[in-house]
Amino acid sequence: MAQTTVGIRELKEQLARYIRHVKAGNTLIITERGKPVGRIVPVKSSVEDRMQELIKAGVIEWSGRKPKRRIPTVKPRGNRTGAELLIEDRN
């Protein structure tokens, strides 16, 4: 992401140009007498929008349903339980 610095006067005179710059994904630093006073950043797209872009690009497939929750399981080697291993690790 590129970053451009612009004074307030030039920003007012060329606002449409700088808005296009931000729409393209770039950040704009606004200065007053050479000192930064503000920043204009592009709005991030929502998760839903990004998912739709990935679907259209053929990167992912999605049925539209909510994903099933999967709880990761850990199986310790040997005969000891997870609690026993945790206690041993704390000592």
Domains of the chain, by residue range, sit at 1-62
pLDDT digits (tens, 9 = 90+) for 41-67: 988 878 888 888 888 898 888 887 887
**Domain 1-62: homologous superfamily in CATH:** YefM-like domain (3.40.1620.10)
Q: How far apart are CA 86 and CA 7, in angstroms?
A: 59
Q: How far apart are CA 54 and CA 19, in angstroms?
A: 26
pLDDT digits (tens, 9 = 90+) for 66-87: 878 888 777 777 888 878 888 8
Kindly report the pTM of this predicted structure. 0.51
Q: Return the sign of the alpha-carbon dihedral for residues 33, 34, 39, 41.
A: positive
What DSSP character marks residue 77?
S
